[in-house]
Amino acid sequence: MRRAAALAITSLVAAAAIAGCGSASSSSHSASASAPADTYTSVSVTGSFGKAPTVKIPAETGSGALYTKTLIQGSGSAYTSSDSLLGNFVMYDWSGKTHKLIGSTYSEGIPTLFSGQLLPGLETALIGQKVGSRVLAVIPPADAFGSTGNSEIGVGAKDTVVFVVDMLKTISNTASVPGKQATNGGGTLPTVIPGAAGKAPTITIPKTAAPTTLQVKTLIKGTGPVVKKGQLVVVQYTGVIWRTGKVFDSSWSRSTPFSTPIGEGQVIPGWDTGLVGQTVGSRVLLVIPPKDGYGSAGSSQPGIKGTDTLVFVVDILDAS
């Protein structure tokens, strides 16, 4: 349901493979006499949790093994490979004797969701850490973007990557909103039957013509704060094409919650209109006609035609 848009800041931490779960405590390596000096441990960070950190990177070529350090020890739940992590971060590219800031959620004003596949070194640094922690990760190329680098964000094949991450909240990858549905829909709207724990609900399309206007129905009313325009929402969802009755996309089936700024054109209009004003903890049924979906062009990847009405069930897990 995401529209074509600028590179999301969460893509800065995407990688082609997931590393095994390793220790997230401070680590280093023993250099031989002929090996270059370990400069990774010279990276320093100051500042308080929740505020943009000040990061000092030495003016010399980065060298060393993956180096991680818990700068502030949190007391919340531990982040596991079965979770996604809501957090703030800064990311630097360290190339030769120079460095540059690549991304910062502090400047964006909203956190990001670390979910799915992470850079191997970043996953090693974060797994096992507790919510409320601030973590430094100085990541060599082999544990970052590999031998090809990432030209899209300007990281070269030999560049070191430096992250500082503030860990705000963990969300289970199979999470759903709590509570019993007040209604299953039905009538001229699709019928929604809740799934088992961690599974998507089942959506059955009625044998009637699709509505021509956006339909929004709250199936479970959450007790959390109201979702506001510009916030980052974290959701689980499943989507069905009215014409076929078939699921074309589902975060539940991937065991990976989805996150997006809401109300700002980063997703299809039906999502922006239908989710702003809902409350966290709600399950919402959206019936979205083409003009509020992908328009007359449709979307070739999931086989959505320009005349297709879409049906979504969305669980709102968080908004911040």
- How confident is residue 7, by pLDDT bands cut at 50, 70 and 90? very low
Say what the pLDDT of residue 30 is: 34
Q: 5 pLDDT exceeds 80?
A: no
Global model pTM greater than 0.85: yes
Q: What is the pLDDT of residues 249-287, one digit of tens each?
A: 999 999 999 999 999 999 999 999 999 999 999 999 999
Where is pLDDT greater, at 209 or 16? Answer: 209
- How confident is residue 36, by pLDDT bands cut at 50, 70 and 90? low
pLDDT (mean) for 113-135: 95
Q: What is the pLDDT of residues 149-206, one digit of tens each?
A: 999 999 999 999 999 999 999 999 999 999 999 999 999 999 999 999 889 999 999 9
- How confident is residue 1, by pLDDT bands cut at 50, 70 and 90? low
Say what the pLDDT of residue 301 is: 78
- How confident is residue 54, by pLDDT bands cut at 50, 70 and 90? very high
Say what the pLDDT of residue 122 is: 96
Structural domains of the chain sorted by starting position, each given as residue range(s) with its CATH number in brackets: 9-171 (3.10.50.40), 191-319 (3.10.50.40)
Paired tokens of 58: 């030495």
Say what the pLDDT of residue 302 is: 86
- For residues 185 and 217, is the Cβ–Cβ distance under 8 A? yes
Q: For the chain, how many residues are written?
A: 320
Say what the pLDDT of residue 106 is: 94
Q: 29 pLDDT exceeds 50?
A: no
Q: 304 pLDDT exceeds 60?
A: yes
Share of the chain above pLDDT 70, in %: 89
From CA 199, how far away is CA 258, in angstroms rounded? 15
Where is pLDDT greater, at 11 or 164? Answer: 164
